[in-house]
Structure 1
Amino acid sequence: MIVKKTTIFCFLPTLAFAGMLGTSQPASACGEEAYTGETCITAASYCPHNTVEASGQILAINDYQALYSLVGCTFGGDCKTSFGIPDLRGRAPVSYGQGPGLYPHPFGQYYGTEAITQTIDQMPAHNHDATFTPNGGGGGGTGASVMVSQDPATTDSPAGGKYLAKATTGLAPIKIYNNGTNLTELEGVSGGGGGGSTGGTVTVGVTGGTETGGTQPMEVAGPRLAMRYCIVTNGLYPPHP
């Protein structure tokens, strides 16, 4: 009995170790089983072992040959002694290509901006027409009477403040005006005013007069959380499908 128990206990560790070897463990981003070239996000103050921050650094090919063989010089470098890695500072990665109704994005291309300043080409189509609306007008006008003087005329000059009067006889020039004494309404004669203007065109400049606004950039970025992107530099080499 003692021999049997000893034999069992000796083999248990061996069986357990063999079971571990036969277990397939999936690769985890930035973990011990991560693939070279993978990126991950961490809330820590540094990137884990075998990774570096994805901050657009230029690395030596001799120091990171496996990573260089995967990314090449897509993100910078001279492809002779150096190569670059992605710069994800302040950026959010998206899948490359062109989705339905979207712009095309070649692999490794940086694009987008956090704020824009509108130009004339980006403004909606509009005009600066204006309508003139007068106060009053449009009616039938007002009547007016013609006043004359009943006294003899004293001058032949139609100066301001003079009225038609009884004409004098004699040699020319004949006097037909006086200073408006003893006025009376001339019968059989009437006057009136027109209806006035009911509309018109107002010319407005393209700038609309005094300019307003500060032409400040307008933010277009949505809510985001800044964290740390890391890229695996020395992990498992990813098998090609």
Structure 2
Amino acid sequence: MDNFLGEIRMFAGSYAPQNWHYCDGSTLQISQYEALFTLLGTTYGGNGQTTFGLPDLRGRAPVHKGTGTGLAPVVLGQMGGSETATLTAANLPPHAHVLTAVNAPAATNTPTTNSMLSTTTPVAYVTNTSTPPAPLPTPVAMYGASIGYSGANLPVSIVQPSMAIGFIIALTGIFPPQN
């Protein structure tokens, strides 16, 4: 079976066969691979005078160049994506927390399991700095940690399930004709 020059294949072996090279971003000499340079140019690296680069598919999934329906354009050689993502509050859907309270006199000033907030007689804002709680003349802001965001803001892996296999590029072969 003949191959085209610059053709990329998946290969399950532990080495690149003769006249093939791993797609590992290596820099090659133009003088040794002029025909391949004619196809690739400096799309994948190199200085274009004496060297050119091979595609680097290590840890990457190849995608077709162009613009898919509803997708951003992708140009030949463009890298994209990330192995992790950090979610922020802007990534979360809006939500609310219910504060359960009753409009009746408190039965105790000691919090217990399944207890609710209630009013004192007369209605006042209280803090737990004294026992029993003392009325405050003005409203008091809740402690930020009790109503703020939680979590460590650490990145999470978004790598798809995968298996490593070699991608190889043909260093020699039939020069592909244009349509």
Which residue of the other structure, out of 125, 128, 131, is the alignment partner of 2:99?
131
CA 102–206 in structure 1, closer or farther in 2 if over 3 Å, else same: farther
In the TM superposition, residue 58 of structure 1 has moved relative to its aligned partner by 0.9
Counterpart-to-counterpart distance in 1, 2:4 and 2:17: 14
Which residue of the other structure, out of 155, 161, 172, is the alignment partner of 1:217?
155
Which residue of the other structure, out of 74, 78, 95, is the alignment partner of 1:109?
78
Counterpart-to-counterpart distance in 2, 1:126 and 1:210: 13
Kindly indicate whether the alpha-carbon contact (under 8 Å) linking 2:22 and 2:169 is maintained by their aligned counterparts in 1. yes
In the TM superposition, residue 100 of structure 1 has moved relative to its aligned partner by 1.0
| Structure possessing the higher radius of gyration over alpha carbons | 1
For residue 136 of structure 1, give the secondary structure of its aligned residue in structure 2.
strand
Kindly indicate whether the alpha-carbon contact (under 8 Å) linking 1:38 and 1:232 is maintained by their aligned counterparts in 2. yes
In the TM superposition, residue 107 of structure 1 has moved relative to its aligned partner by 1.5
Write the mapping of 1:163-202 to structure 2, written as runs, cut at 5 A. Answer: 197=123
Query: Is 1:235 the equivalent of 2:173?
Result: yes
Q: Which amino acid aligns with 1:223?
A: P
* Cross-structure match for 1:78: 47
Alignment RMSD (CA, Å): 3.0
Pick the structure with more helix per residue.
Answer: 1
In the TM superposition, residue 94 of structure 1 has moved relative to its aligned partner by 0.8
In the TM superposition, residue 48 of structure 1 has moved relative to its aligned partner by 1.4
In the TM superposition, residue 106 of structure 1 has moved relative to its aligned partner by 1.5
Counterpart-to-counterpart distance in 1, 2:104 and 2:145: 30
Structure 2 unaligned regions, length at least 5: 106-119, 124-138
TM-score (norm 1): 0.55
Q: Which amino acid aligns with 2:12?
A: A
Structure 1 unaligned regions, length at least 5: 1-27, 138-193
CA 119–210 in structure 1, closer or farther in 2 if over 3 Å, else same: closer
In the TM superposition, residue 46 of structure 1 has moved relative to its aligned partner by 0.7
Counterpart-to-counterpart distance in 2, 1:113 and 1:50: 32
* Cross-structure match for 1:7: none
Write the mapping of 1:22-101 to structure 2, written as runs, cut at 5 A. Answer: 28=1, 33-101=2-70
In the TM superposition, residue 217 of structure 1 has moved relative to its aligned partner by 1.4
Kindly indicate whether the alpha-carbon contact (under 8 Å) linking 2:88 and 2:153 is maintained by their aligned counterparts in 1. no
Runs of 4+ aligned structure 1 residues displaced above 6 Å come to none
Q: Deviations over 1:127-169 (max 9, x none)?
A: 5x653614734xxxxxxxxxxxxxxxxxxxxxxxxxxxxxxxx
Query: Is 1:118 the equivalent of 2:56?
Result: no
Counterpart-to-counterpart distance in 2, 1:203 and 1:103: 46
Q: Which amino acid aligns with 1:36?
A: L
Identity across matched positions, percent? 35
Counterpart-to-counterpart distance in 2, 1:110 and 1:94: 10
